[in-house]
Amino acid sequence: MTSVSVLLSCVAALLGTAVLAVPIGRSAASTPVVYGASLVFCAVAFVFALAHLASALSVAEAPTIILPLGLPWLGSHFRIDALAAFFLMVVNLGGVLSALYALGYGRHEHAPRRVLPFFPAFLAGMNLVVLADDAFTFLISWEFMSLASWALVMAHHRDADNRKAGYVYIVMASFGTLALLLAFGLLAGSAGNYGFAAMRGSAHTPFVVGLALILLLLGAGSKAGLVPLHAWLPLAHPAAPSHVSALMSGVMTKVAVYGFIRVVFDLLGMPTWWSGIVVLIIGTGSAVLGILQALMESDMKRLLAYSTIENIGVIFVSLGLALAFKANDMELAAALALTAALFHVLNHSFFKSLLFFGAGAVLTATGERNMDKLGGLIHRMPVTSVVFLVGCVAISALPPFNGFVSEWLAFQAILQSPAVPQWGLKILVPAVGGMLALSAALAAACFVKTFGVAFLGRPRTSAAEQAVEVDRFSLTAMSVLATLCLLAGILPGIVIDGLAPVTLSLIGDRMPVQTDIPWLSIVPIVESRSSYNGLLVFLFTLFSASLTAYLIHRFASRELRRAPAWDCGFPETSPATQYTASSFAQPVRRVFGTLVFRAREQVDMPAPGDLRPARFAVETHDLIWEGLYLPIIGAVGFAAEKLNHLQFLTIRRYLSLVFLALVFLLLMLALWS
């Protein structure tokens, strides 16, 4: 039995679970049954995907299966190569942990029948997208994945915000699928070769390649959340239940990245150098804009969704570099950049799932998503706060956790780029490097804010004061992810070697073998150029911190006394005097927001003796929504308004309209030939 048939059986089993969930949805046992089954099937799929990736270097032929479904002359092709195996691993690991988390979290769900059938269906859809080996199956699976996730976004549809989120999401998802459909149509050509193998084999004209790239950026980019197509993401991801939010942000965006890599690196053939520029600019814009919007946010889940946009931007920056290098035949540098991108795909699926699980745990414990109503949770939710802290450090790209490694690899790739001959790239890349560092620094600020406001300080409401730790299942899922964040950070060589088959198949080169290097360092090119050892950094820090603490407690003083906070002699008793999410972001808003969000502050300070309260108001604008989406919405509304009166005609007029249309079409036909 090949790995592809095992994975397809897992998909079938997930779909079976989805169908089964409909009749048993009313019973109390349905939640553990559905999530338990999803967990098992995803675990099997994960193991086989991992095994396939591990053995991908020795297997010559990627296993393929053709089912008699889909297009009659083509059938449905399914195939696993190294790239697909890697993404299947990401998808199913996310699925396993999300199902584990949901075993506990799902018990608090007040409408389980709106979630249970769609959860395994969503997982099956994502698996199918990655497995598909022809355009028809790919698009059907893509749409299935979109619709299943849409149903999950609409699970709590009584909330007007969620309904709006679902509406925006379905519109954008349809738009994205349309763009992908056109892209595949272009690639298939007039002969209609919808199989990926045929597309890979045929030579495409530069015009087709360019147009297909743009359409892909629209189609896959809208699903991944690239600016300016991200508008749905911060609405839809937080609207779903938290374990689904984690899947959507941590995994589904990765499936979109997979679609982009599959077509651009695999099917399109040799890229042109300007495609690198386009992807670099869009990626950089997404990274900076995404994290700036996250910084302005006080809703925890929406903040995480905006930060997803940033991370997708970082991934696309690395992909853009890989494209630019590949176009210039710099294979080693391209392999380095692609490894950085894929490493970040893995990392983001770890820490974003972890953070969404943490936000879900906070939601369960307090019923609040608004950070300005939380505070002091570190005392009441000790385990959640530790794992959430790990997620915050990892996503801020700080050593020794995993986020830093992929960021570091991206910087090493940037340092390879002066050898690129094109001037446009030479001038762009340093700016991109600066922007990447800026987004990393902003991410650190953003997650200091998140952890500091929600988990530290004093509780701002009674809900935060009465919070209790969440159930074991949720804690286990989060702890596993936190451990993975640390392991990928201190043993990055193993991950890099695991990615070697992917870069070999897509670029034709790989990074040097890392696991042979003494002390488990990672060395992208040669040691005299750059190296990093997360394990030793971690151990040294741990050792010197413990040594210092031991020596001080042993020889100096270990006395400790609790007293009221000093606060420079003027302690404020009310917890409302603490810094909130928006006050924390105020300095950054003044520096960047004046330009990016046209933020304006108005202070109304009454004169001394005047008894009216002082007022402070901030006005910010989402320039993309106002400049791009509102005009389109306006135009659609205007056209609908104009066409509306066609609905209220008499039967005679309708008949004459039909007649005129017929005459018009016949005339067209006559003139055409």
Partner 1 sequence: MVVISALLIQTFQMALVVALAPLLTGFIRLIKARLLRRRGPSVIQPYRDILRLLRKDVVLAENASWLFRVTPYLIFAVTWVAAAIIPTFATGLIFSWTADLIAIIALLGSARFFLALAGMDVGTSFGGIGSSREAMIATLAEPSMLLIIFTLALIAGSTQLSTIAAFMTSPQVGLRVSLAIALIALVMVAIAENARIPVDNPATHLELTMVHEAMVLEYSGRHLAMIELAASLKLLLYMTLIACMFVPWQLAVVGEGPVAYLVGIFAYLAKLAIGGALLALFETATAKMRVFRVPEFLGAALMLGLLATLLRFVSRSL
Interaction with partner 1 in 426-485: which residues (CB under 8 A)? 426-427, 429-431, 433-435, 437-438, 440-442, 444-445, 448-449, 451-453, 456-458
If the CB atoms of residues 543 and 654 are measured against partner 1, the closer one turns out to be 543
Q: Name the 3-class secondary structure at 226.
A: coil
Cα distance between residue 387 and residue 357, in whole Å: 10
* Residue 106 Cβ vs partner 1, minimum distance, rounded to whole Å: 30
What are the tokens at 554? 């042993």
Read off φ and ψ for residue 618, nearest 5 degrees. -120, 135
| Residues 504 and 57: beta-carbon distance below 8 Å | yes
Nearest residue to 393 via CA among 434, 355, 431: 355
Cα distance between residue 481 and residue 351, in whole Å: 7
Does 548 contact partner 1 by CB under 8 A?
yes
Residue 340 CB burial class (10 angstroms; 0-12, 13-18, ≥19): buried
Candidates 192, 367, 571, 606: give the one binding partner 1 (CB under 8 A): 571
If the CB atoms of residues 60 and 427 are measured against partner 1, the closer one turns out to be 427
* Residue 451 Cβ vs partner 1, minimum distance, rounded to whole Å: 6
If the CB atoms of residues 202 and 586 are measured against partner 1, the closer one turns out to be 586
Candidates 111, 205, 579, 639: give the one binding partner 1 (CB under 8 A): 579
* Residue 449 Cβ vs partner 1, minimum distance, rounded to whole Å: 7
Candidates 174, 272, 422, 583: give the one binding partner 1 (CB under 8 A): 583
Question: Cis ω on the peptide bond leading into residue 228 (within 30° of 0)?
Answer: yes
Strands 76-79 and 600-604: unpaired
Cα distance between residue 147 and residue 167, in whole Å: 12
DSSP alpha helix (H) spans, 189-226 = 196-201, 206-224
If the CB atoms of residues 125 and 457 are measured against partner 1, the closer one turns out to be 457
Nearest residue to 337 via CA among 328, 327, 326: 326
With residue 316 as reference, give the H or E element that holds it: helix 300-327
* Residue 443 Cβ vs partner 1, minimum distance, rounded to whole Å: 10
Crossing angle of helices 118-131 and 253-261, rounded to 10°: 10
Does 321 contact partner 1 by CB under 8 A?
no
Cα distance between residue 455 and residue 442, in whole Å: 19
Instruction: Select from 49-57, 327-335, 416-424, 504-512 the region that touches partner 1 (CB under 8 A).
Output: 416-424
Candidates 414, 467, 481, 482: give the one binding partner 1 (CB under 8 A): 414
* Residue 325 Cβ vs partner 1, minimum distance, rounded to whole Å: 15
* Dihedral sign, Cα of residue 421, residue 427, residue 430, residue 432: negative
What are the tokens at 418? 């002066």
Instruction: Select from 15-23, 125-133, 262-270, 575-583 the region that touches partner 1 (CB under 8 A).
Output: 575-583
Give first-to-last CA distance, the chain, whole Å.
55
* Residue 621 Cβ vs partner 1, minimum distance, rounded to whole Å: 21
What are the tokens at 217? 């950026």
Candidates 561, 642, 645, 652: give the one binding partner 1 (CB under 8 A): 561
Does 415 contact partner 1 by CB under 8 A?
yes
Cα distance between residue 512 and residue 59, in whole Å: 20
* Residue 519 Cβ vs partner 1, minimum distance, rounded to whole Å: 8
Nearest residue to 447 via CA among 392, 486, 397, 377: 392
Does 562 contact partner 1 by CB under 8 A?
yes
* Residue 525 Cβ vs partner 1, minimum distance, rounded to whole Å: 10
CA distances from 647 to 436, 439, 641, 651, 661 (A): 53, 51, 11, 11, 16
The interface with partner 1 within residues 353-382 (CB under 8 A) comprises 375-376, 378-379
C-alpha atoms less than 13 angstroms from C-alpha of 164 in its C-beta half-sphere: 6
Quick one: CA torsion of 249, 250, 253, 256, rounded to 10 degrees?
-160
Q: Judged by CB under 8 A, how many residues of this single chain contact partner 1? A: 89
Return the bridge partners of 139, or none. none
The interface with partner 1 within residues 606-635 (CB under 8 A) comprises none
Does 556 contact partner 1 by CB under 8 A?
yes
Does 423 contact partner 1 by CB under 8 A?
yes
If the CB atoms of residues 152 and 429 are measured against partner 1, the closer one turns out to be 429
* Residue 551 Cβ vs partner 1, minimum distance, rounded to whole Å: 10
If the CB atoms of residues 195 and 399 are measured against partner 1, the closer one turns out to be 399
Quick one: CA torsion of 392, 592, 424, 315, rounded to 10 degrees?
20
What are the tokens at 495? 């991950």
Does 406 contact partner 1 by CB under 8 A?
no
Candidates 398, 599, 618, 624: give the one binding partner 1 (CB under 8 A): 398
Amino acid (1-letter code) at residue 143 = E
Candidates 164, 200, 472, 590: give the one binding partner 1 (CB under 8 A): 590
Q: Which residue has the tokens 């769900």?
A: 109
Amino acid (1-letter code) at residue 249 = S
Instruction: Select from 39-47, 337-345, 406-414, 467-475 the region that touches partner 1 (CB under 8 A).
Output: 406-414
With residue 101 as reference, give the H or E element that holds it: helix 82-105
* Residue 486 Cβ vs partner 1, minimum distance, rounded to whole Å: 13
* Residue 230 Cβ vs partner 1, minimum distance, rounded to whole Å: 21
Candidates 170, 586, 618, 624: give the one binding partner 1 (CB under 8 A): 586
Cα distance between residue 228 and residue 249, in whole Å: 17
* Residue 97 Cβ vs partner 1, minimum distance, rounded to whole Å: 25
What are the tokens at 111? 């409408």
Count of Cβ atoms closer than 10 Å to residue 119 Cβ: 31
Candidates 72, 206, 564, 608: give the one binding partner 1 (CB under 8 A): 564
* Residue 14 Cβ vs partner 1, minimum distance, rounded to whole Å: 39
If the CB atoms of residues 46 and 401 are measured against partner 1, the closer one turns out to be 401
Read off φ and ψ for residue 508, nearest 5 degrees. 95, 5
Question: Cis ω on the peptide bond leading into residue 271 (within 30° of 0)?
Answer: no
Instruction: Select from 165-173, 333-341, 550-558, 660-668 the region that touches partner 1 (CB under 8 A).
Output: 550-558
If the CB atoms of residues 569 and 609 are measured against partner 1, the closer one turns out to be 569
* Residue 348 Cβ vs partner 1, minimum distance, rounded to whole Å: 18
The interface with partner 1 within residues 145-174 (CB under 8 A) comprises none
Candidates 29, 203, 560, 617: give the one binding partner 1 (CB under 8 A): 560
Candidates 359, 482, 585, 596: give the one binding partner 1 (CB under 8 A): 585
If the CB atoms of residues 414 and 502 are measured against partner 1, the closer one turns out to be 414
* Residue 589 Cβ vs partner 1, minimum distance, rounded to whole Å: 9
The interface with partner 1 within residues 502-531 (CB under 8 A) comprises 521, 527-531
Candidates 207, 566, 648, 672: give the one binding partner 1 (CB under 8 A): 566
Instruction: Select from 17-25, 184-192, 239-247, 394-402 the region that touches partner 1 (CB under 8 A).
Output: 394-402
E strands, 577-634, are 600-604, 615-619
